[in-house]
Amino acid sequence: MTRSLWSSYVRSLSTSCIQHQNVLSSLQTDSARLRLVLWRPSKTHERHIVRVSHNHTKLEHRAFIALGGNMGDRVAMIEEACREMEKGGNIRILRTSSLWETKAMYVLDQDNFVNGACEIETSLSPIELLNELQSVEKRMGRVKVIDKGPRNIDLDILLYDNLTHSNERLQIPHPLMLEREFVLRPLCEMIPEENLPSHSSSAAKSLQHSLSLLPRSEDPLSPMTPLAPNLSSISAFQPQRDTRIMSILNVTPDSFSDGGKNYNIDQVTLTNTIKSHITSGATILDIGGQSTRPGAVQVSSSEELSRILPAIKLIRSLREANNLAISIDTYRADVAEESIKAGAHIINDVSAGLMDDAMLHTVAKLGCTVCLMHMRGTPETMSKLTSYPDGIIETVGRELLDRVRAAEAAGIRRWRIILDPGIGFAKTQEQNLEILRRMGELRQYPGLQGFPWLVGTSRKAFVGKITGVKEAKDRKWGTAAAVTAAIQGGADIVRVHDVEEMGQVAKLADAIWRV
């Protein structure tokens, strides 16, 4: 930092609050003691930095923190640690990696770990940051029994600006990071082409290059996406994973395929329908209280909630639904909030936050999993927005990546995101087919690797046009072919009306391709 910039910084801090004066004092001390080189992101990193959209003052330093643990509810512990880090106002999480389940290193006789990383802005010096992270661990009840042994939470500083630092308490960069796949993989999701600080021993190597030098693991690491407390997470890189069946429960009078079937019906009939979906293999139940078919009347939030909340309450009362995830098909933030508070687990937003500016911030606050679907316009206008001059895969990938970045900027953790290519939404028949044909390419789109994908083709118009089946409820055979194609392409979840039949299709498709 130049003398003039430093003087300007001192003047601005001197007019601030006492908290800022304390930060200034620590920064002055650290600058005299340490050789600080302010971090300059490469052009590659500049393209991937997520700027938070809240009206916060930008904090001075950027760092990367490792997150891990192998005791209790491991994901919940990491999420609690993220909240605790931000409580004091001196740390702001810009974005996170996925979470990766890994076997223990060094001390092998312990449970699997969940590991990830986060990029932060902070006003704290390295030692102050270490103190704060250790304070978080202490507040969360961490007790160190043996070195590298079991722990409920583990927070380590990996990188801090472009700084190298070494004393008896702290070494930056983290001395063991280049030998740990569970550290490098999360970092490579965020900054793959970044090098270590120029004055460190491994400075010439990018993180991605360092990762490539590690021996291939016998059990390849896979990112994990939590769905519900009693339901196993999705591991999108696990080749033997089962396809999850999301059954559709529309409690509307006007949905395109089953409108009215479950609308204002008696509780006994609805209970039997829900139980039959579960018995047939559904592990996610997607409740819709507002039709998104072209031309559908948009009801009020209160009307939508009056349809959804009784269904959530009923499902939560069923013993058979203990291992079920409840998803809510809505694009409204207030509906999402009330639904999650009532016991739902997932928000399935067809607009990926574009139809309600409050949606992404609301989901971040709720801490739930969200499905971001590709769509253009609204259900009323989307059929006119089907021009993709750069190609359907390139454009859908790019536009979904924009929504992922918006979600991260709002505070949604990467491990809480599911993607949907939006079959039938702002797509022509040929575009729908091309997406199904090239799903594998979409899954590998730069920046989207590792996310789980939901694909919904059930009974849609393009299926009817190709097969010549006019009535939506009779399009089972065509839907079966589309579901098979989606699974071959790597879909993790298929959203269906005919649960029993498509559950059988998914089982056979899994037996063929998930090996």
Mean pLDDT of 413-440: 98
107 assigned to some structural domain? yes
pLDDT band of 112, cuts 50, 70, 90: confident
238 or 255, greater pLDDT: 238
The span from the CA of 158 to the CA of 167, in Å, is: 15
> Among candidates 488, 425, 426, 483, which has minimal Cα distance to 455?
483
242 to 65, 280, 463: CA distances (angstroms) = 32, 15, 25
Res 43: pLDDT: 38
User: Cα torsion at 101, 106, 108, 113 (round to 10°)?
Assistant: -20
Mean pLDDT of 498-512: 98
* pLDDT attached to residue 31: 37
Residue 376 has pLDDT above 70, yes or no: yes
Which CATH number goes with the domain that contains 401?
3.20.20.20
CA 290 – CA 296 distance, rounded (Å): 8
Q: What pLDDT is stored for residue 257 in this prediction? A: 55
Catalytic residue among 376, 413, 460, 476: 460
Are 455 and 401 in the same domain?
yes
How remote is the C-alpha of 202 from its chain's centroid? Answer: 31
Average pLDDT over residues 290-314: 88
What percent of the chain clears pLDDT 70, i.e. is strictly above it? 83
Q: Is 495 a catalytic residue?
A: yes
Lowest mean pLDDT among 268-282, 284-298, 299-313, 385-399: 284-298
**pLDDT band, very low/low/confident/very high, at 133 (cuts 50, 70, 90):** very high
Same domain, yes or no: 213 and 253: no
Specify whether 393 is located in the same domain as 279: yes
User: What per-residue string of b and e applies to 320-352 under the rule 16 or more CB within 10 Å gives b?
Assistant: ebeebbbbbbbbbbbbbbbbbebebbbbbbbbb
Mean pLDDT of the 90-112 span: 85
In a domain? residue 477: yes
C-alpha 138/C-alpha 307 separation (Å) is 44
pLDDT score, position 16 = 38
Domain end: 169, 189, 219, which one? 219
Residues in the chain: 515
- In this structure, are 129 and 241 located in the same domain? no
Per the rule left: phi > 0, alpha: psi between -120 and 50, beta: everything else, 96 is beta
Do 107 and 122 lie in one domain? The reply is yes
Q: Grade residue 380 by pLDDT with cuts at 50, 70 and 90.
A: confident
Per-residue pLDDT at 113: 87
Q: Is 514 exposed, middle or buried (0-12, 13-18, 19+ CB in 10 A)?
A: middle
Q: Tell me, what amino acid is at 16?
A: S
Q: Are 150 and 71 in contact (CB under 8 A)?
A: yes
Are residues 186 and 279 both part of a single domain?
Answer: no
* pLDDT tens-digit series, residues 440-477: 999 999 999 999 999 999 999 999 999 999 999 999 99
Residue 126 lies in a domain: yes
211/229 same-domain check: no
* Same domain flag for 213 and 243: no
pLDDT for the residue numbered 17: 34
**Structural tokens at position 59:** 């904090």
Q: Which of 219, 251, 266 is the last residue of a domain?
A: 219
| Same-domain pairing of 212 and 234 | no
> Is 74 in the active site?
no
Q: Which residues pair with 420 in a beta bridge?
A: 373
Q: Is 374 inside a domain boundary?
A: yes
DSSP codes of every residue in 75-98 = HHHHHHHHHHHHHTSSEEEEEE--
398 pLDDT higher than 60: yes
Identify whether residues 294 and 242 lie together within a single domain: yes
Query: What letter would DSSP give residue 108?
Result: -
The set of residues, in sequence order, having a beta carbon less than 8 Å from that of 419 and lying 6+ positions away, is 371, 372, 373, 374, 400, 404, 448, 451, 452, 453, 454
State the total domains in the chain: 2
Residue 346 pLDDT greater than 50, yes or no: yes
pLDDT bucket at 132, cuts 50 / 70 / 90: very high
User: By percentage, how much of the chain surpasses pLDDT 90?
Assistant: 72
The answer to whether 501 and 253 are in contact (CB under 8 A) is no
| Mean confidence (pLDDT) of the chain | 87
- My answer on whether 213 and 296 are in the same domain is no
pLDDT surpasses 50 at 483: yes
Radius of gyration of the chain (CA): 24
Name the pLDDT band for 196 (thresholds 50, 70, 90): confident
The whole-number pLDDT of residue 40 equals 37
Least confident of 79-93, 170-184, 489-503: 170-184
Stretch 484-490: mean pLDDT, rounded? 98
In a domain, 147, yes or no: yes
Within a domain: 270: yes
pLDDT in tens, 269-282: 999 999 999 999 99
Q: Which residues contact 327 (CB under 8 A, 6 or more apart)?
A: 246, 284, 285, 286, 287, 344, 345, 346, 347, 348, 371
Which residue has better confidence, 4 or 110? 110
Which domain does 338 fall in, by range?
A: 225-513
- Per-position DSSP letters for 454-484, written without gaps between them: EE--TT-HHHHHHHT--SGGG-HHHHHHHHH
pLDDT greater than 80 at residue 424: yes
Residues 213 and 303 in one domain: no
Helices (H), ranges, 177-300: 181-190, 207-212, 267-279
Q: What is the CATH number of the domain that holds 168?
A: 3.30.70.560
Q: What are phi and psi of 254, to 5 degrees?
A: -140, 20
